[in-house]
């Protein structure tokens, strides 16, 4: 697994899964112990330090639910809520064509899209580079800035405000990396 995939997997998991999800226990342990920064490929030590001091999963649960869960959530995590004319089925079809296994949950969830970017990177076939560019340019970048800004504005815990800032910088860095790879 390369750096691109690690970033997408970590961020996607934190946005997609409830903070108390047993699958996130190892990740929250790394964050709480300050060990994520040692393997984090981007220069975001200050932001990761802020995460370290605010990452108690039990305290984050109420914020996560208020932000992302249910019809009355303050920041819907779905592309279809932010990008006019977008359709979850379009994203689902795109990912299915690339062989990504999908469950019943919406495929246009912000966390799912980041996990999809990781999955595409891990597949590393020749045509997956173009799929990554499409994923970023068509399905993530047009709305992620607005979404992450709303997360920062509505989060009641410093954890989710910091996670939004980390994600904004990381997404831009990864998109820049894709651009540099295309130019080579």
Global confidence as pTM: 0.93
DSSP state at residue 54: T
Dig out the tokens for 53 from the structure.
């001091």
Per-domain residue ranges of the chain: 3-183
b/e per residue 70-79 (b: at least 16 CB within 10 A): eeebebbbbb
Distance of alpha carbon 168 from the chain centroid: 9
Whole-number Å distance between alpha carbons of 50 and 117: 25
Whole-number Å distance between alpha carbons of 111 and 77: 8
HSE of 26, CA atoms in CB hemisphere, 13 A: 3
Find tokens 């990554």 and name the residue. Answer: 132
HSE of 173, CA atoms in CB hemisphere, 13 A: 16
Whole-number Å distance between alpha carbons of 45 and 169: 12
Number of Cβ within 10 Å of residue 130's Cβ equals 12
**CATH architecture of residue range(s) 3-183:** Orthogonal Bundle (1.10)
Predicted confidence pLDDT, tens digits, the chain (184 residues): 588 889 999 999 999 999 999 999 999 999 989 898 888 988 898 898 888 888 677 789 999 999 999 999 999 999 999 988 888 999 999 999 988 889 898 999 999 999 999 998 887 666 678 889 999 999 999 999 999 999 999 999 999 999 999 999 999 999 998 888 877 7
């Amino acid at each position: 697994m390369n750096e691109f995939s690690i970033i997408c997997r970590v961020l996607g998991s934190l946005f997609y899964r409830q903070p108390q999800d047993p699958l996130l226990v190892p990740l929250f342990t790394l964050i709480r112990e300050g060990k994520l920064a040692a393997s984090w490929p981007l220069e975001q030590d200050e932001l990761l330090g802020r995460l370290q001091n605010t990452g108690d999963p039990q305290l984050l649960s109420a914020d996560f639910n208020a932000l992302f869960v249910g019809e009355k959530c303050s920041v819907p995590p779905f592309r279809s809520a932010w990008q006019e004319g977008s359709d979850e089925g379009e994203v689902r079809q795109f990912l299915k064509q690339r062989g990504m296994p999908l469950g019943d949950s919406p495929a246009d969830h912000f966390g799912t899209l980041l996990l999809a970017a990781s999955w595409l990177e891990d597949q590393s076939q020749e045509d997956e580079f173009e799929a990554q560019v499409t994923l970023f340019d068509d399905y993530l970048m047009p709305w992620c800035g607005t979404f992450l800004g709303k997360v920062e504005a509505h989060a009641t815990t410093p954890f989710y405000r910091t996670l939004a800032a980390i994600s904004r910088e990381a997404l831009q860095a990864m998109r820049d990396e894709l651009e540099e790879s295309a130019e080579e």
